[in-house]
Structure 1
Amino acid sequence: MNTFILRLFVYVVVVCPVLWSAHAHKNSPLTHGQEHTHYKEPPCAICPRHGRCVPKVQCPAHVRASSYNPACHLNGAVGVCCFTGSGHAAENERKARAATLISAEDVKSSHSQSRQKLSQWITLAAKLLEHSMHTIVNTTSPSYGHHLSVVTHDERAATLGRGGLLNLFTAQELKARQAISEDDLALGFTEHTDGPFCPPQPSCSALNRYRSIGGECNNPSSSTWGAVLTGFERLLPPNYSDGTWAMRTAKSGAPLPSARTVSSALLLDGSHPSSTHNMMFMQFGQFIAHDISAGVIFNAENGSAISCCMNNGEDILPPELQHFACAPIEVATDDPFYGQFKQKCINFVRTQIAPASDCSAGYAKQMNGASHYPDLSHLYGSSEEKLSSLRAPGGLLRTFSDYGRELPPLTERKECLAVKEGAACFESGDNHGNQIISLTVLHTIFTREHNRLAKALSGLNPGWDEDTVFWETRRLLQAQFQHIIYNEWLPLLLGPQIMKTFELSPSAGYSSAYDPHTNPSLSAEFSAAAMRFGHSVVSGRIVIPSPQMGGIYETISIPELMFHPTRMRLRHFLDRVLIGLSSQPMQTVDPFVTEGLSRYMFHGGNPYGVDLAAINIQRGRDHGLNSYNQYRKLIGLDMYTDFQQFAPNAARRLVSVYEDPEDIDLWVGGLLEEPIEGGILGPTFANIIADQFARHKKGDRFFYEHGPDVNPGAFTPIQLEEIKKVTLARLICDNRDGIELVSMPPAACLRDDLPGNEPVPCDSPRIPAMDLSKFRES
Structure 2
Amino acid sequence: MTMKTMTMFLFLTMPAALDLTSLSPSFISQVRDVSNRILSTTDAGVESDHVYSYMITLFGQWNDHDLTFTPTSPSIRSFNDGIDCDLSCAQADPCFPIQIPPEDSRFGNNSKSCIPFFRSAPACGTGTTGHVFGKANIRQQVNALTAFLDAGQVYGSDDAQALSLRDLTNDFGLMRVNDRFTDNGREHLPFTNTLGTCSTRQKITNVSGVEEVPCFVAGDTRVIENIALSSIHTLFLREHNRLARALRQLNPHWSSETLYQEARKIVGGYPQVIVFRDYLKHIVGPDAMDHFLPAYPGYDENVDPSIANVFATAAYRFALLTLQPLVFRLNESYQEHPEFPSVPLHKAFFAPWRLIFEAYNAWRKFCGLSQPQNEEELAQVMDNPDLAKKIIELYGTPDNTDVWLGGVSEPFVSGGHVGPLFSCLIAMQFQKIRQGDRLWWEKNGVFTNQQRKSLAAVSLNRIICDNTGIRKVPKDPFLFHHQGTSYISCNDIPAFDLRPWFKIGE
Q: When the two structures are superposed, what TM-score results if normalisation uses the length of structure 2? A: 0.82
SS at 2:395's partner residue?
Answer: coil
Q: Which amino acid aligns with 2:34?
A: V
1:347 aligned to 2:116?
A: yes
Alpha-carbon offset, residue 328 of structure 1:
1.1
Superposition RMSD in Å: 2.5
> Does the CA-based 8 Å contact 2:155-2:219 persist in structure 1?
yes
* TM-aligned CA deviation for residue 549 of structure 1: 9.3
Which of 539, 545, 550 in structure 1 is aligned with 2:330? 545
Alignment match of 1:308 (pick from 80, 85, 104): 85
For 2:38, the equivalent position in structure 1 comes to 266
CA contact (8 A) 2:214 2:352 kept: yes
Give the Å deviation of 1:264.
Answer: 1.4
3-state SS, counterpart of residue 221 of structure 2: coil
Deviations 1:81-103 (A, max 9, x none): xxxxxxxxxxxxxxxxxxxxxxx
Name the residue aligned to 1:763.
491
- Answer whether contact 2:187 2:238 (CA < 8 A) is retained: yes
1:296 aligns with 2:86: no
Match of 2:369 in 1: 637
Distance in 1 between residues matched to 2:138 and 2:359, nearest whole Å: 18
Query: Is it true that 1:731 corresponds to 2:463 in the alignment?
Result: yes
Q: Distance in 2 between matches of 1:776 and 1:360?
A: 54
State the SS of the aligned residue for 2:104.
coil
Q: Distance in 1 between matches of 2:416 and 2:174?
A: 38
The residue number in structure 2 matching 1:371 is 146
Counterpart mapping for 1:174-185 below 5 A = none
Which of 701, 705, 730 in structure 1 is aligned with 2:438? 701
Q: Which amino acid aligns with 2:191?
A: L
Distance 1:523 1:466, change over 3 A: same
Counterparts of residues 622-771 of structure 1 (less than 5 Å): 625-645=357-377, 646=379, 647-708=384-445, 714-736=446-468, 738=469, 741-753=470-482, 758-764=486-492, 767-771=493-497
Partner AA of 1:260 in structure 2: R
When residues 318 and 723 of structure 1 are mapped into structure 2, their CA distance, relative to the original with a 3 A threshold, is: closer
Determine helix, strand or coil for the equivalent of 2:329: strand
Aligned partner of 1:415 in structure 2 is: 197
Residues 1:560 and 2:347 aligned together:
yes
After alignment, is 518-527 or 745-754 more displaced? 745-754
Distance in 1 between the 2:301 and 2:290 partners?
Answer: 22
Alpha-carbon shift at residue 258 of structure 1 (Å): 3.0
Match of 1:529 in 2: 314
Paired with 1:503 and 1:543, the residues of 2 have a C-alpha distance of 34
Q: Distance in 2 between matches of 1:410 and 1:259?
A: 38
Q: What pairs with 1:164-179 in structure 2 (closer than 5 Å)? A: none
Which range moved further: 263-272 or 421-430?
A: 421-430
Note the 1:179-258 alignment, pairs <5 A.
258=30
1:9-20 mapped onto 2 (5 Å cutoff): none
Amino acid paired to 2:500 = K
Alpha-carbon distance between aligned partners in 1 of 2:213 and 2:50, rounded to the nearest angstrom: 37
Within 1, Cα distance between the matches of 2:221 and 2:317?
Answer: 20
Residue 513 of structure 1 aligns to a residue whose secondary structure is coil
Q: Which runs of 5+ in 1 are unaligned?
A: 1-255, 311-315, 569-619, 709-713
In the TM superposition, what whole-angstrom CA distance separates every residue of 1:108-162 from its partner, at most 9, and x where no partner exists?
xxxxxxxxxxxxxxxxxxxxxxxxxxxxxxxxxxxxxxxxxxxxxxxxxxxxxxx
- Aligned partner of 1:773 in structure 2 is 499
Question: CA–CA distance in 2 between the matches of 1:680 and 1:465?
Answer: 45
Native 8 Å contact 1:410 1:427 kept in 2: yes
SS of corresponding position for 1:275: strand
2: distance between equivalents of 1:703 and 1:458? 25
Is the contact between residue 449 and residue 735 of structure 1 (CA under 8 Å) also seen in structure 2?
Answer: yes
| Residue number in structure 2 paired with 1:474 | 264
1:492 aligns with 2:282: yes
- Contact 1:676 1:683 (8 Å CA) reproduced: yes
Question: Residue type matched to 2:487 in 1?
Answer: P
Cα displacement string for residues 721-762 of structure 1 (whole angstroms, at most 9, x for unaligned residues): 1111111111111111x1xx221112111113299x622211
Instruction: Work out the CA distance in 1 between the residues paired with 2:59 and 2:119.
Output: 27
Equivalent-residue separation in structure 2 for 1:551 and 1:685 (angstroms):
35
- What letter is aligned with 1:262? V
CA contact (8 A) 1:298 1:350 kept: no
Alignment-derived partner of residue 4 in structure 2 = none
Give the deviation of 1:343 after TM superposition.
3.2
The corresponding residue for 2:58 is 283
Instruction: Give the Å deviation of 1:774.
Output: 1.5
Offset of 1:552 from its aligned partner? Answer: 5.4
Question: What is the CA-CA distance between 1:548 and the residue it aligns to?
Answer: 5.7
Question: Do the aligned partners of 1:530 and 1:667 also contact (CA within 8 Å) in 2?
Answer: yes
Q: Give the gaps of 5 or more residues in structure 2.
A: 1-27, 127-131, 202-209
Q: Distance in 1 between matches of 2:337 and 2:411?
A: 33
Would the aligned equivalents of 2:200 and 2:212 in 1 still touch at CA under 8 Å? Answer: no
**Identity rate, percent:** 30
CA contact (8 A) 1:416 1:425 kept: yes
Change (3 A) 1:706 1:418: same
Distance in 2 of aligned mates of 1:292 and 1:422: 31
Q: Distance in 2 between matches of 1:275 and 1:699?
A: 36
Distance in 2 (CA, whole Å) between partners of 1:425 and 1:539 is 23
Q: CA deviation at 1:686?
A: 0.5
Contact persistence 1:276–1:754 (CA under 8 A):
no
How far apart are the structure 2 equivalents of 1:337 and 1:355? 38
Query: Shift of the alpha carbon at 1:301?
Result: 6.3
Cα deviations across residues 413-438 of structure 1 (Å, max 9, x unaligned)? 41314265343521111221110001
TM-superposed CA distance for 1:551, in Å, is: 4.7
SS of the equivalent of 1:395 reads coil
- CA separation of 1:336/1:283 partners in 2, compared to 1, >3 Å: closer, same or farther? same
Contact kept, 8 Å, 1:332 with 1:339, in 2: the verdict is no
Superposition deviation, residue 482 in structure 1: 1.2
Residues 447-476 of structure 1 deviation map (CA, whole Å, 9 limit, x = unaligned): 000000111112212222111111111111
For 1:520, what is the secondary structure of its paired residue? coil
The superposition leaves residues 34-86 of structure 1 with CA deviations (integer Å, 9 ceiling, x where unpaired) of: xxxxxxxxxxxxxxxxxxxxxxxxxxxxxxxxxxxxxxxxxxxxxxxxxxxxx
Distance 2:173 2:30 in 1: 51
- Correspondence 1:397 to 2:184: no
Question: d(CA) in 2 for partners of 1:418 and 1:390?
Answer: 24
Counterpart AA for 2:192: T
Corresponding position of 1:406: 187
- Answer whether contact 1:725 1:769 (CA < 8 A) is retained: no
Contact 2:193 2:214 in 1 (8 A): no
Residue identity matched to 1:759: Y
Residues 298 and 349 of structure 1 are in contact (CA less than 8 Å); yes or no, is this contact kept in structure 2? no
Distance 1:517 1:434 in 2: 37
Q: Over alpha carbons, which structure has the higher Rg?
A: 1
2: CA distance, partners of 1:334 / 1:688: 37
With over 3 angstroms needed to count, the CA separation of the structure-2 counterparts of 1:743 and 1:642, relative to structure 1, is same
Provide Cα deviations, 1:449-506, integer angstroms capped at 9, x if missing partner.
Answer: 00001111122122221111111111111001211111111111112121111124xx
Q: Deviations over 1:700-741 (max 9, x none)?
A: 001111112xxxxx11111101111111111111111x1xx2
Q: Which amino acid is 2:326 matched to?
A: R
Corresponding residue of 2:302: 517
SS for the counterpart of 1:760 is: strand
